[in-house]
Each structure stands twice: as structure tokens, then as C-alpha cells.
Homo-oligomer: A and B are copies of this chain.
């Protein structure tokens, strides 16, 4: 099942996506819900980010090739994570499918995409086990962890490099029927494929993070966990379109502009 969120006369509403059709519901996937009789053409509807999380988690460095590539790029030794230590991103930076990534006028040219699997939590949970962890997941969506690499080198907390407004595209929707081991991520810049990798080839997988995190913290419905990206990443700039496709989930596509000074 596919859950989209859209603007319904000024307030956000959930809908089930079936093919090219959007079927609005009363309620939400995090609660009880029922289909309305309405049918909308998906192509006519401006989608919103599929959820605004109570807490926005991010694994950060979680694919071996990416850790080495970024380390080389920022001139530091590679530092493979030894444990599933989770990090954070910020809601101010979220934008939806099709919305513009705006590079600030004072950013350098080293603004780069990172295509990521996003886990959407469906239930309040703590102390998950390896056997029950995935039952706490509502579904999966796609994220682009846009990063200014020079700021990333100098920011004490990555607040600016990672969380500048518009730097966190997420969407287009939440897919609930996913086999993690079958997923493939493909990243395209202006239609040209840059990289393809098995989405689940993470250093620490979804179950690892869910079990480790919930030893210490409660997860809530709507929390999201961004799982990291693989490989080297390239610059994006004014006029580009960057697309992250995860087969079986969907394609997140966003144009890029640079703000005028």
C-alpha cells in the first residue's frame, strides 16, 4: 500500500495511491482511517512531504564506499562506524517531491546529493528485538540528504551543511510493501544515471538501528530514520534536476536553483 500526503483546502490530508489515482482518506496511516468516495488524478495533485516527523533521525555514514569517498573529499581519514550510533536532521529543511532545492548564495559549489532509504515508524515502541523490530515500521520512502561539503568540514554540528532550508527532500510517498533485500537505489542527474547500488548493503541495517536505538529511546509514530547513502557523490547546481529512485518504492525528483546574492 502506498500513502501520500497532500494539501486539501489548506490542511494536510492522507490518501492511498493506486496507480495514477489518489484516494483521500479520513484519518491517517498512524491511526484508524477510512477511504472517502473521492478519486483524484495523481498528476493534478501537489504532494506534501509524506510525514513531518516528531524526531528526524539519520544514520549518517552507513555504507563503506561512501565513508571512504567523503573522507577523501574533505581531506580526513575514513572512519568506519563501529556501532549503530544514530544522528539527527531537522524538519525546517524538509521539502516534498518536485519542490526546489535552493542553494544559498554564499554556499560553495560543493553542494551534493545523497540518495537514502527512509524508514517511517508506525508504532510507539521501545526495546525492540531482532524478531519484532520490523513490525514497528509503517513503510519506507526516499530521502535526499543534500550536503554542503565545505560547511560540513567546518560546522561543529553539521547544522548548516545538512539542515539549511530545502536541503532535505523526502517523498514522494510511503510504501508499506517492501522487501529490503530486493531494493535497488539509482541516482540520476539530469536524466543520466550516476550510481546504482543495492539499498540494503548498509554497514548497519534497519533492524540493527531499530534494536540499538530502542534500548535507550522510545520511537513514535511518524519518526523517520534516514539510512545513509553509498558511493561518491557529485555536485549539483543551478538548473539541475536530481532524482533518487528506489525500485519498488518510488522516485524522488527535485530541481535545483541557486539563490541570488
Binding site for B on A (CB under 8 A): 52, 54-55, 57, 60, 81, 83, 85-88, 90-93, 104, 126, 155-157, 159-160, 163-165, 213, 216-220
Contact = CB atoms under 8 A, between A and B. Distances in A.
Nearest to A104: B216
Nearest to A89: B88
B55 A90 contact: yes
B86 A217 contact: no
Contacts of A92: 54-55, 217-220
A55 B94 CA distance: 12
Q: What are the nearest 8 A-B pairs in CB distance?
A: A85-B156, A87-B157, A88-B88, A164-B216, A92-B217, A86-B159, A55-B90, A160-B216
Contacts of A55: 90-92
A87 B163 CA distance: 11
B220 A156 contact: no
Given A92-B55, A126-B165, A165-B126, A87 B159 contact: yes
In this complex, the member of A57, A60, A85 whose beta carbon has the largest number of chain B beta carbons within 10 angstroms is: A85
Contacts of A60: 156-157
Nearest to A83: B156
A119 to B, nearest CB: 15
A85 B216 contact: no
A48 to B, nearest CB: 15
Given A55-B90, A55-B92, A91-B54, A157 B85 contact: yes
A126 B104 CA distance: 13
